[in-house]
Amino acid sequence: MKMAVSTTVNGDPRAFLCEPGETLLEALRGTLGLTGAKEGCGTGDCGACTVMLDGEMVCSCLVLAPEAEGRRVETIEGVAEGSDLHPVQRQFLEHGALQCGFCTPGFIVAAKALLERDPDPSEHDLRYWLAGNLCRCTGYDKIVRAVQDAAAEMRQQARGDAA
Amino acid sequence: MNAQSGHNAYRVVGTRPVRPDGIDKVTGKALYGPDQIAPNMLHGAVLRSPHAHARIRGIDTSRAEALPGVKAVITARDFPGQESVTFKGGETSGDRRDIAHNCMALHKVLYAGHAVAAVAATSEAIAREALALIVVDLEVLPHVISVAEAIAPGAPVLHDDMFTEGLEPKPAQASNVSATFTMAKGDAAAAMARAAVVAEGRYVTQPVHQGYIEPQACVASWNSDGQGQIWCSSQGHFDVRNLTAGILNLPISSLRVTPLEIGGGFGGKTTVYLEPVAMVLSRKAGRPVRLAMRREEVFAATGPAPGSVFEVRIGADADGRLVALEMEFWNQSGAYPGNTLHGGCATALGAYNIADARATGWDVVSNFADTHAYRAPGAPQSAFAVESCIDEIALKLGMDPLELRLKNAVKPGDPSPSRLPHGAIGYIECLEAAKASPHWNTPVAEGESRGIAGAFWGNYGGPSTVAVSVASDGSVAVTTGSPDIGGSRASMAIMAAETLQVPYESVRVAIADTASLGYSMVTGGSRTTFATGKAVVDACGQIIDSLLARGAQLLGVEPGEVAWRDGAVHCMAAGREGEKLDMAAIAGRVHQFSGPVSAEVQLNAQGYLPGFGVHICDVAVDKETGFTRVTRYTAIQDVGRAIHPDYVEGQLQGGAAQGIGWALNEGYVFDGAGRVDNAGFLDYRMPVCSDLPMIETIMVEVPNPAHPYGVKGVGETSIVPPLAAVGNAVSRAVGKRMRDLPMAPEVVHRALAGA
Amino acid sequence: MARVVLTAPFDARFFGGVGELEIPASDLFALVRALDLRAPGFALAVEEGGLLAVDGEAAADWSVALRDDAEVLVVPRIAGG
């Protein structure tokens, strides 16, 4: 028996049918055609499927698709505004903070979530916040530096906006 | 450290532009293996053995076939029979029968996770439901996991037709020892007897997984006319094609493989697991079929690096000159013969001048997944043993471990492990850079300790095909057959732009499918920027020659009266010096010349040089819990020339992080039934962001004269030193030599308690 | 006459550990054919897992003419990941 789910994905209303046991990740990648969130493990250990659900960071492989009913889902596809990259995305490119890029969508969603709640995280806090996202290529060095520079850029921008 | 002669002469080489595939990858647009779909596609699933060793008496698929939505069920009987024939194809060479039987077990299952049947259905849920309806009648056999179990007298034998290769005469009895290999020079035993100090020990490492985050996945479509297509990610789609066609007895050109973005490989994606299975399902169902592994399947059924046991002795004279090395080692390969004996021997003999040395390796099969290449295959385990012994010798002689290495390091002209003299290598320069580094010159912090280790890795060159074409507006398309794992499209664009003297942005790089370009070997062996890059530069040279010839004709001057400068043909004829033709002015005129401006280059790149590295590691060991934290880490490596320094640094940092994981946390754990007990990222604990410090890098540039821009392979060397660099630091903290990996807290705690 | 220097595993497996051989050959293909006549199976083994070096340089192209006093080294080809 399929279930009907009405939700908002990256600001757009979306309605879809799913099996009761289907995960949000499966619905996003399958029915909704949003393959930016990746499945690295299916058990919530790698963070490649990280999305925001009502402003909270979740592993979409651990959320059932019907749980998205009436809620706001934000994915990597919604991070850039049109063709304007978010500072975290831009700094990832400037730093070469990706090699294969498979973990990158999860890292960007997670880093953006961190900077929205803490605009000036210490390296220690940043590393612990991102500890739920696995990267096997980079050794994290350039990722940490990219997020630090994105934070600085966003603080500067916020000061500019306030002035 | 980056300054070397001529470096400033480059305009684009050595800069750090944004990679061409960057925006796709930070916005979620890039398509990886698991993202591919095809119209009317079916979803497949693979049934895997729960037993580590069993004889297949029969498989009943009738109930699965009867399940609504199931369109095909297959077993090994649906594959063509295979003879034991070695594939040829560079690094993908392997035994065709072994690879086929690893994809789908025929008579026996050799590990828990070995595929025995597969289903294609209208949904993945139905396919998995159908798996539960397949009845496999297995006669469970005793299994072996460790080297000791596998070589014990009377041990159950995995392959009754396997007789140790390399022994003369050929053994009369089959065994689990697939091969032996020795590299020797001089008289190691006699030299050892004369040594003033000897360090010796038994070093043990566990199988570790490459740990790429993207699980294997593919879509295959095989039509009744014999033509097939596969979409997948891999380190080499030409070799996916060749292996799959070989296993299915297809003409190679009847199969077209389209590469998708690859989510990490590290050697593990240079072979096939799913592709032949998806092809057979597709033929039976008459529809495209998608197969994707779950993480536990990746751990249980794709090749980790072998575990190992090394018995090593190294002798030195009283002045710290290394005089003798004796090593015997056993690789704990998985279900089929491994391929790392040569790498283990070469790494033992490669970094230092030791006149009398003997290294003998034994490859031992056992009942877990077929082991496969992992970044410098065979070398990290060997360097762990050798570089730990060297640290011990330094302690015994009261010498600085860096000075001891400097005293013995190989230089250009010294004999390499293959007996050929070393070319323009840079080990001495790496050690000097380490000595001058901020890290080495900072005193070790209170409560911490420091380790250092060096490394050798041979690298590779090999065959590549490249096409370069100039569009009618003068923009440039570079097409290669080398999958881009770590930013190589950027380095290809840089080398093309440098050669053509045009802006980086006017060159675009794509990776062609197997029907669109000639063969290229896998992205592996640290070969791509070297070999494929060399082909790109050669092709750009041909483009320049063609544009010069056409430009001279258009200008109405002699061929010798034109020159290539700033991406244009400049007239050098007397009185006409200011005249020039840009690329668009020439390339647009396809109808007046013999055709479009394009060039294709095929080569078999030689002249590759080995990589050398030195890593420095500081650790803090918690004396109460045995927990080790890496507090500072520096990776130094001779990179020849860094084409795009960000991605070269990235290779150094990534290899270091993987090596730190290998040293401290990672290792397969098997339960009593021979199943992988930690087949998930929670229990197979790879380093996360909070486990590591920044990883400082120093790129030493000793250019390779065999590459137009001096490139040496950089990808693999960086995983070779960390095991010993971390081990030497922890050993100094504990006051006892740490010889077993991983140095997990309980292991260190035991060592502290016993010390 | 090319001087062929054989290393493990090719030497023991095919030539009884002689170490070196003198072989007349115009190029590496001819040399490998000549060696295969002496030790059947050698050609296949070297194609699958061997590397030939001429006067200290790995040979990319076996069809290049061999000098009369060339030294040819036969070593195993290394694998990478």
Nearest to A139 among B30, B212, B656 (CB): B656
**Does residue B614 share a domain with residue B752?**
yes
Nearest to B264 among A96, A102, A142 (CB): A102
Nearest CA in chain C to B305: C81
Nearest CA in chain C to B719: C81
Q: Enter the tokens of residue B230.
A: 């596969």
Mean pLDDT of B320-327: 98
Q: pLDDT grade, residue B221 (50/70/90)?
A: very high
ipTM of the complex: 0.98
User: What structural domains does chain C harbor?
Assistant: 2-76 (3.10.20.30)
Output the domain CATH number for residue B652. Answer: 3.30.365.10
Q: Which residues in chain B are contacts of C49 at CB distance < 8 A? A: 93
Q: Which residues in chain C are contacts of B86 at CB distance < 8 A? A: 48
Identify whether B738 is part of a domain.
yes
Mean pLDDT of B680-698: 98
- Cross-chain residue pair A130–B689, CB shorter than 8 Å: yes
Residue B659's φ and ψ, nearest 5 degrees, are: -65, -35
pLDDT over 90 (residue B368): yes
pLDDT over 80 (residue C2): yes
Residues of chain B above pLDDT 90, percent: 93
**Does residue B626 share a domain with residue B546?**
no
pLDDT over 50 (residue B596): yes
Identify the domain boundary among A46, A78, A110: A78
**Does residue A69 share a domain with residue A42?**
yes
Q: pLDDT grade, residue C13 (50/70/90)?
A: confident
- Cross-chain residue pair B213–A43, CB shorter than 8 Å: no
Identify whether B751 is part of a domain.
yes
Predicted pLDDT at B86: 73
**Does residue B437 share a domain with residue B525?**
no
Identify the domain boundary among B550, B579, B605: B605
- Under a CB-based contact definition with an 8 Å cutoff, are residues B100 and B79 in contact? yes
| pLDDT tens, residue by residue, B253-270 | 999 999 999 999 999 999
- Cross-chain residue pair A133–B694, CB shorter than 8 Å: no
Q: Which residues in chain B are contacts of A42 at CB distance < 8 A? A: 294-295
- Under a CB-based contact definition with an 8 Å cutoff, are residues B431 and B406 in contact? yes
Number of domains in chain A: 2
* Cα→Cα distances B679→A50, B19, B102, B270, B372, Å: 21, 34, 19, 21, 17
**Does residue B755 share a domain with residue B619?**
yes
**Does residue A92 share a domain with residue A73?**
no
- Under a CB-based contact definition with an 8 Å cutoff, are residues B107 and B100 in contact? no
**Does residue A70 share a domain with residue A91?**
no
Number of H helices, E strands in chain B: 19, 26
Identify the domain boundary among A78, A112, A131: A78
Number of domains in chain B: 2
**Does residue A32 share a domain with residue A51?**
yes
Interface of B with C (CB under 8 A): 86, 88, 91, 93, 165-166, 168, 181-184, 266-268, 270, 339-340, 342-343, 346, 372-377, 418-421, 458-461, 524-527, 603-607, 716
Q: Which residue has the tokens 């790109």?
A: B536
- Cross-chain residue pair B212–A135, CB shorter than 8 Å: no
Closest-CA distance of chain C to residue B113, Å: 23
Mean pLDDT of B717-721: 98
Residue B656, Cα to own-chain centre: how many angstroms?
14
Identify whether B573 is part of a domain.
yes
**Does residue A106 share a domain with residue A74?**
no
Q: Which residue has the tokens 């590469």?
A: B259
**Does residue B630 share a domain with residue B552?**
no
Nearest CA in chain C to B527: C80
Identify the domain boundary among B545, B580, B605: B605
| pLDDT tens, residue by residue, B433-492 | 999 999 999 999 999 999 999 999 999 999 999 999 999 999 999 999 999 999 999 999
- Cross-chain residue pair C49–B418, CB shorter than 8 Å: no
pLDDT over 50 (residue B2): no
Identify the domain boundary among A61, A78, A95: A78
Predicted pLDDT at B144: 98
Contacts of B107 (CB under 8 A, 6+ apart): B55, B56
Secondary structure (3-state) at B508: strand
**Does residue A93 share a domain with residue A150?**
yes
- Cross-chain residue pair B527–C80, CB shorter than 8 Å: yes
DSSP state of B368: S
- Cross-chain residue pair B419–C5, CB shorter than 8 Å: yes
Nearest CA in chain A to B650: A138
Closest-CA distance of chain A to residue B22, Å: 6
Q: Give, rounded to a whole angstrom, the gap between the first and last alpha carbons of chain A.
A: 56
Nearest CA in chain B to C81: B267
Q: pLDDT grade, residue B1 (50/70/90)?
A: very low
Output the domain CATH number for residue A66. Answer: 3.10.20.30
Identify the domain boundary among B605, B638, B665: B605
Identify whether B659 is part of a domain.
yes
Identify whether B69 is part of a domain.
no
Q: Which of B285, B221, B288 is nearest to B72 (CA)?
A: B285
User: If residue B397 lies in a helix (H) or strand (E), which one and from where to where?
Assistant: helix B379-397
Residues of chain B above pLDDT 70, percent: 98
**Does residue A64 share a domain with residue A10?**
yes
pLDDT over 80 (residue B381): yes
**Does residue B617 share a domain with residue B597?**
no
CA distance B676 to B299: 8
Q: Which residues in chain B are contacts of C51 at CB distance < 8 A? A: 418
Region for B64 from its dihedrals, namely left if φ exceeds 0, alpha if ψ lies in -120 to 50, beta otherwise: alpha
Domain that holds residue A124: 87-162
Domain that holds residue B665: 415-459+609-755
CA distance C25 to C20: 15
Nearest CA in chain B to C17: B168
Residue B75, Cα to own-chain centre: how many angstroms?
31
**Does residue A91 share a domain with residue A67?**
no
Its pTM surpasses 0.90: yes
Question: Up-side HSE of residue B639: CA atoms within 13 Å toward CB?
Answer: 29
**Does residue A107 share a domain with residue A51?**
no
**Does residue A135 share a domain with residue A96?**
yes
Output the domain CATH number for residue A143. Answer: 1.10.150.120
Q: Which residues in chain B are contacts of C81 at CB distance < 8 A? A: 266-268, 270, 372-377, 524-525, 716
pLDDT over 50 (residue B5): no
Secondary structure (3-state) at B421: strand
